[in-house]
């Protein structure tokens, strides 16, 4: 059953409040009244309101100024302006600022009822649409049914509505940016901008002006004033990719902006307030960067109110078939190829592989296969060599001497041997060695440091 639409009347005239209350409740609406702007905002905060009727002349505020604040809180909320005949111009100005409609005083009951019904209907429609959209989209393109990725979905859904900054951690290609976009889409900021900043791609000297903007003449080449990405993301979400690459100097400025919720364009003394939710991503262990003195600890805590850890693909291998199919469909359509599936051998190889490059590597492998295949089903030979050759032979026979051994020491020793062997086989090129061991370059590098392998001879 549909519940009655609720109408909030913000007007300081008790007589008018009474008339509207009687009229609306007798026609099946639920009503709330507020005599001041402050009281009105309070009600909006406490109650689920469907339509607002707003007087333009309130004791504490001008209704025209209150309107944008109401709409900022609830962008879809229809607001009907109540206005004296003499000030129809302000009512028209209010419509320009996003009001649903206006009723001139004194009004006819039918006129008010008709408008309120229409407004409530529109509100209801928007609610239903938003629900359908969210059902359809789920979490957007984030594909996966494994427990690990389901946990990520759940966390995104719980964390998205808040304003808290989020750190998305995970190896390269695990879907950090995708997660950041999902956070934005599931937040109340979804109708505002999502602004990605690929900090590592921006030269050091330009990052500050890119983020905070600059005024004309702030530095050589600044021929015009420009607004920064923080301003572009106002009321929306700013995605700071690869935060660990930001210099300590810029980190300091960033911290100040987060604390003060104000930015100052480079070369300007004037502050502007900005309301931005930050989602940061890093494929390095940011805490380790803090320990190493390369990342400010206070900034770390500011960014990392909530952490979302994207699991590597090899730790959720049950998602591989689903992801492979998802990419197959995407690329078959994009290339207008009739490719409908994988042979069992090809799928086995895909599931057995270690995926150091995670989902991005899988995506590329499938795209390549879709383009190369002559058949309807993708077979082994269209998959990249490394994937086909992923033989998982055991390399050692484990033995435990009668006296026993220290398990952790033995493991570290074995890891050291493997890493040295891999480095030797790849002429000491770490990237290649990492690939031989199906490790991401970052993990490989971390292991080298952890195991103290400095002289790989």
Contacts with ligand ATP, residue ranges (CB under 6 A): 141-144, 170, 172-178, 283, 323, 326, 359-360, 363
What are the DSSP E strand ranges found in 97-246?
Answer: 101-105, 166-169, 194-198, 213-214, 226-227, 237-241
Report the alpha-carbon distance of residue 125 to residue 101 in Å, rounded: 17
Residues 163-192 as x/- pattern, contact with Mg ion by CB under 5 A: --------------x---------------
Cα separation of 346 and 353, whole Å? 11
- Cβ neighbors of 436 (< 8 A, separation 6 or more) are 422, 425, 426
DSSP-derived secondary structure letter, 189 = T
Q: Which DSSP letter does residue 405 get?
A: -
Q: CB of 317: closest distance to ligand ATP in angstroms?
A: 13
Give the containing element (helix H, strand E) for 53: strand 51-55
CA triple 221-224-228, angle to 5 deg: 95
Tokens 């994207």 — which residue? 310
Q: Which does 441 bind (CB under 5 to 8 A by kind): ligand ATP, Mg ion, none?
A: none
Q: State the binding partner of 175 from ligand ATP, Mg ion, none, CB within 5 to 8 A by kind.
A: ligand ATP
The CB-of-334 to ligand ATP minimum distance in angstroms stands at 13
Interaction partner, residue 214 (ligand ATP, Mg ion, none; CB < 5-8 Å by kind): none
Q: Residue with the closest Cβ to ligand ATP?
A: 175
- If contact means CB under 5 to 8 A according to the sort of partner, which of Mg ion, ligand ATP, none does residue 141 touch? ligand ATP
- Using the structure block, give the residue that is written with the tokens 């594909």: 143
CB of residue 166 to ligand ATP, shortest distance in Å: 14
Give the span between the Cα atoms of 252 and 303, in whole angstroms. Answer: 13
Binds 199, which of Mg ion, ligand ATP, none (CB < 5 to 8 A, cut-off by type)?
none
Q: How far is the CB of 148 from ligand ATP (least distance, A)?
A: 11
Place of tokens 């002289």: 455
Bridge-based pairing state of the strands 166-169 and 277-282: parallel
**Hey, what are 39's tokens?**
């009281």
Nearest CB to ligand ATP, comparing residues 9 and 180:
180
Q: Which does 178 bind (CB under 5 to 8 A by kind): Mg ion, ligand ATP, none?
A: ligand ATP
Residue 246 binds which entry of Mg ion, ligand ATP, none, CB below 5-8 Å type-dependent: none
Q: What is the closest distance, in whole angstroms, from the C-beta atom of residue 18 to Mg ion in the complex?
A: 59
> Is the bond preceding residue 106 a cis peptide, omega within 30 degrees?
yes
Q: Is residue 275 a contact residue for Mg ion (CB under 5 A)?
A: no
Complex with ligand ATP: residue 115 or 284, whichever CB lies closer: 284
The distance of closest approach from Cβ of residue 301 to ligand ATP in the complex, given in angstroms and rounded to an integer, is 22
Contact 171, 330 (CB under 8 A): no
* Cβ proximity to Mg ion, 13 vs 177, nearer residue: 177
CA distance 119 to 311: 45
The listed partner (ligand ATP, Mg ion, none) that binds 283, CB under 5 to 8 Å by sort, is ligand ATP
Tokens (6 digits) for 24: 């609306």
Residue 93 or 177: the one with the smaller Cβ distance to Mg ion is: 177
Angle between helices 344-352 and 320-334 (to 10 degrees): 120
| Least gap, CB of 245 to Mg ion (angstroms) | 12
- The helix/strand/coil state of 72 is helix
Query: Smaller CB distance to Mg ion: residue 52 or 195?
Result: 195
Identify which of residues 16 and 378 has a Cβ nearer to ligand ATP in the complex: 378
Cβ-based nearer residue to ligand ATP, 169 or 257 = 169
Q: Are 103 and 115 in contact (CB under 8 A)?
A: yes
The DSSP result for 254-316, as a single string, is HHHHHHHTEEE-BT---EEE---EEEEEESS-HHHHHHTTSS-HHHHHHH-SEEEEPPPGGGG
**What is the smallest separation between the CB atom of 180 and ligand ATP, expressed in angstroms?**
8
CB of 244 to Mg ion, least distance (A): 13
The residue (of 173 and 236) whose beta carbon lies closer to ligand ATP is 173
Which is closer to ligand ATP, CB of 129 or CB of 157? Answer: 157
In whole angstroms, the minimum distance from the beta carbon of 145 to Mg ion comes to: 23
Q: Which residues bind Mg ion (CB under 5 A)?
A: 177
């Amino acid at each position: 059953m549909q519940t009655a639409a609720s109408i909030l009347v913000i007007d300081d005239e008790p007589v008018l409040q009474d008339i509207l209350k009687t009229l609306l409740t007798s026609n099946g609406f639920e009503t709330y009244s507020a005599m001041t702007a402050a009281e009105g905002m309070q009600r909006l905060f406490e109650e689920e309101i469907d339509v607002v009727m707003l007087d333009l002349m309130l004791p504490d505020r001008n209704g025209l100024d209150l309107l944008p604040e109401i709409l900022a809180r609830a962008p879809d909320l229809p607001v009907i302006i109540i206005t004296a005949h003499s000030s129809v111009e302000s009512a028209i100005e209010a419509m320009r600022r996003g009001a649903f409609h206006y009723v001139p005083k004194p009004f006819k009951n039918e006129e008010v009822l008709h408008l309120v019904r229409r407004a409530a209907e529109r509100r209801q429609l928007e609610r239903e649409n938003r629900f359908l959209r969210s059902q359809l989209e789920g979490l957007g393109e984030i594909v996966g049914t494994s427990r690990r990725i389901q946990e990520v979905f759940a966390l995104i859904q719980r964390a998205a509505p808040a304003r808290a900054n989020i750190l998305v951690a995970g190896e390269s290609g695990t879907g950090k940016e995708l997660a950041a976009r999902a956070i934005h889409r599931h937040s109340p900021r979804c109708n505002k901008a999502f602004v990605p900043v690929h900090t590592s791609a921006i030269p050091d000297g330009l990052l500050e002006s890119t983020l905070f903007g600059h005024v004309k003449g702030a530095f050589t080449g600044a021929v015009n004033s420009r607004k920064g990405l923080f301003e572009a993301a106002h009321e929306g979400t700013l995605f700071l990719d690869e935060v660990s690459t930001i210099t300590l100097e810029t980190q300091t400025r960033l911290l100040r902006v987060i604390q003060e919720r104000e930015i100052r364009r480079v070369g300007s003394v004037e502050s502007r307030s900005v309301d931005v939710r930050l989602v940061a991503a890093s494929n390095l262990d940011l805490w380790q960067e803090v320990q190493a003195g390369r990342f400010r600890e206070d900034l770390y805590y500011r960014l990392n109110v909530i952490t979302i850890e994207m699991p590597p693909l090899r730790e959720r291998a049950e998602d591989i078939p689903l992801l492979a199919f998802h990419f197959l469909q995407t690329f078959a359509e994009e290339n207008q190829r009739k490719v409908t599936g994988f042979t069992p051998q090809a799928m086995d190889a895909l599931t057995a592989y270690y995926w150091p490059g995670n989902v991005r590597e899988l995506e590329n492998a499938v795209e390549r296969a879709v383009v190369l295949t002559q058949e309807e089903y993708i077979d082994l030979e269209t998959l990249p060599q490394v994937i086909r050759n992923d033989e998982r032979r055991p390399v050692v026979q484990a033995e435990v001497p009668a006296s026993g051994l220290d398990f952790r020491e033995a493991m570290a020793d074995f890891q050291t041997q493997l890493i040295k062997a891999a480095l030797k086989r790849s002429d000491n090129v770490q990237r290649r060695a990492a690939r031989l061991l199906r490790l991401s370059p970052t993990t490989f590098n971390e292991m080298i440091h952890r195991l103290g392998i400095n002289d790989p001879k």
